Structure 1
């Protein structure tokens, strides 16, 4: 569907996700957040802790979409190389940022921790970047151009998004309607395709599930055009009613 709304991509970084050791929770959170802001999340990629691959993905995504959100790889260990990759992608220097140093030194003093070399790696920020507030563990994320670099730990990333959201241009949020059809996808496929062609501004998806009494399908309609959405919804309800043996289909907003 063609839309003038801002677009976004998510770049998940980390060998631990690819190995299955860590189960990602960040993509779903960001997707929900973008939907609420009226920003279309168009793509998600997962790359290992390899600088060349992070740089290549960043350069592809940041030129294609309004915003890119990265998660992971900004901690104190040797494999936390996201900040270096971002600096390389943008062609800028990276060093300990005085603002980040001040934040971390104050935090470590408060916590009674030694500000050793490993911990102070988290103060290394690409030149020209603005910091993203981290109210959980203080080590900041950062924004470089249209790229927002956040932690991989879900609790920290979620908190960082509060600061990031203030910087985003919002679009018109998608509205959605749902029809529960007591039949399989194959039963509804042809008439559903006809309805889709009549309402190109409405995105229609079908999602099968196993109901207690047999096969069933959730028919989900999404659009920024409220009038077209309502017309398409009524058409899908009529279709479901005509196809259901009992002559019934449940629909709700």
Structure 2
């Protein structure tokens, strides 16, 4: 894989790790998973797995180790703020067996932002970075995230996370982009299901999914096709269009 660029025919995978009791309790509605997944799809990274874990050190450690081993990238959100329950940084350090301390680079950033006189104990917690980690720029509130191994640790606040994600993805490996096309069908899934199943066998390299909806008071279906090969995608689209046309003739 190359860094910061797209590599033809390379599949790069990722997982999303959301950390926070407030997400699991429902008090805070997650807005990061969908954003990260859509963002990754656009730049050629396949999100294969999502986990949400509480603010419990052992569970964070278990999750990050498993996801880091399975995927090229792990995008983690939440738990790097100034309060006592923000334990993500310490958990990441333990997960990779490194020490954690106030990072001079992070301290300098916070000193510039807050002023030395205003750097209280709580704010200094945000300067604690695992040894060997690279900082992730935070242009919104300045307190940095960090990358350790292949895990990118970002804030949970959506506007801050989004800015950090821009910084991260400018420097990491990506792969061949997934292409997609949508074919509308003015009929329910049940009528088209058998034909789509047969076409899927003809195009094993193209993902074919059906999504029902209501249209003008009746059932309709959107057929979504996905492939990294434009020529194969085009062939599959034409095959689905032909299937729909034949079913419409049978119905008339």
TM-score range with shorter-chain normalisation?
A: over 0.9
How far does the alpha carbon of each residue in 1:183-241 deviate from its partner, in whole angstroms, 9 at most, with x for none? 11111111101111101110111111122231111110010011110010001111112
5+ long unaligned stretches in structure 2: 1-8
2:243 is the counterpart of 1:243: no
Equivalenced residues, count: 244
Distance 1:171 1:4 in 2: 5
Corresponding residue SS for 2:92 = helix
How far does the alpha carbon of each residue in 1:61-111 deviate from its partner, in whole angstroms, 9 at most, with x for none? 00000000000000011111110110000000001101001101110129x
Matched with 2:132 is 128
5+ long unaligned stretches in structure 1: 249-253
Distance 2:240 2:215 in 1: 20
Equivalent position to 1:214, from 200, 212, 218: 218
Q: Higher RCO, 1 or 2 (CA under 8 Å, sep at least 6)?
A: 2
| Pairs within 5 Å for 1:18-167 | 18-109=24-115, 114-167=118-171
Corresponding residue SS for 1:58 = helix
Distance 1:135 1:106 in 2: 13
Greater shift in the superposed pair: 26-35 or 149-158: 26-35
Q: Which runs of at least 4 in structure 1 moved beyond 4 Å after TM superposition? A: 245-248
Distance 1:212 1:120 in 2: 58
Equivalent position to 2:197, from 193, 196, 202: 193
Distance 1:247 1:26 in 2: 44
